[in-house]
Amino acid sequence: AYEGRQATWAHRLTSAGKRAVSIGKLHYRDDTVLGGFDETIIPMHIIDGLGDLLGAVRDPLPVRHKTKSLSEELGPGESSYTRYDRAITKAAIQWLGETAPKLEQPWTLYVGLVAPHFPLIAPEEFFAMYPPEKMPLPKAHKPEDWPKHPWFEAIRKCFIWNDFFDDDKRRLATASYFALCSFLDDNIGKILAALEGAGFGGNTRIVYSSDHGDNLGVRGLWGKSNHYQESVAIPMIMAGPDVPQGKVVSTPVTLVDVFPTVLECTGTPRADEDLAKPGRNLLTIAQAPDDEKRVAFSEYHAAGAASGAFMIRRGRFKLVHFVGMTPQLFDLKADPEEMNDLAGKAEYAATVAELNAELRKICDPDEVDARAKADQAAVVEKNGGRDAVIKRGTFGATPPPGSAAKFV
């Protein structure tokens, strides 16, 4: 969990005398970590400053029994998360209407909404928009259609979500997820209306993104925790002054690009240590021709990962490197659904080699994998050892402020 040691864009803004405020989910270590913000309003952080300790247990992977709850908490209604999102939206509207107009310096507001996120319980008015019986079943949801790969066989034995789903529940989960997306859209619309009503609609740049997607039953997988597009592809939408309207950009971007974007859009200088960091201003990327040679990178070492997984995306191709296991290669232009793994085909050997070389420009995957496992083993040992951590169990989704975690 973030402990405040690495500088954020909020640190740079407040150091330059500009206001930076967060409302909602942050997922830092605890309330003592401000992350550079002047103020954090109703923040949500990891449990007990520790979070999901079970995710640090790797060799061998444990069975996560709490995953059963995903199939039980579905359909119309309210959850602690939908109530929390309503509170976040209310606080954002209030801040924009009451505080922002009084500020003399430029300000940046981060709003961390939770939806769509399990539990897949959606407010009735939005759930009614998506009749479950009309929902499509996830692609490749049958075991015979799953990719035969040891990394995914291991994660399914750890995250046993799919064991509790039938087709009716799959459709119900899809309807609930879509409804939560519409619930999110509604909250964002209210916040943007408040921005406009406060007189900032014409001079404020807006960036909307997410932290991850959801497999939603595809290939028998749920949640995130891998590099398929369902999990790793996220929205990135900009609006405001100097942002080209109605333009779709194909250049790969990542959340790393948000750091320079916020600094440059607010006229805040980078520190010397920032200059070597990856990332480019999204506004500059949006105004330029598409760059097919730009590389997007991601890595995963947490819950369910039998070994480190590393993703390199360049142009139409995406390589997923699994330490100690065979890689995957997908042509996202010809096969956007990632149903045809090309890694073992001789005619794509050069592409695999080129993308592997790009990966090694960024890191040594074997060294990073070993370091991650060593760090996690140290955390497990510090908290009583493997047996004690497994006995502690896990809690599913982090509870919002005022709610208690329920361990299983």
Report the C-alpha gap between 213 and 196 in whole angstroms.
Answer: 29
Give pLDDT tens digits for 222-273: 999 999 999 999 999 999 999 999 999 999 999 999 999 999 999 999 999 9
Which tens digits make up the pLDDT trace of 47-100? Answer: 999 999 999 999 999 999 999 999 999 999 999 999 999 999 999 999 999 999
- What does the pLDDT read at residue 294? 97
Say yes or no to pLDDT of 105 above 90. no
* Contact of 229 with 200, CB cutoff 8 Å: no
Taking the model in full, what pTM does it have? 0.96
What is the average pLDDT value for the chain, to the nearest integer?
A: 97
Largest CA distance in the chain: 64
pLDDT tens digits, one per residue of 382-404: 999 999 999 999 998 999 999 99
CA angle 60, 66, 69 (to 5 degrees): 145
What value, to the nearest 5°, has the Cα angle with vertex 365 and ends 285 and 388? Answer: 115
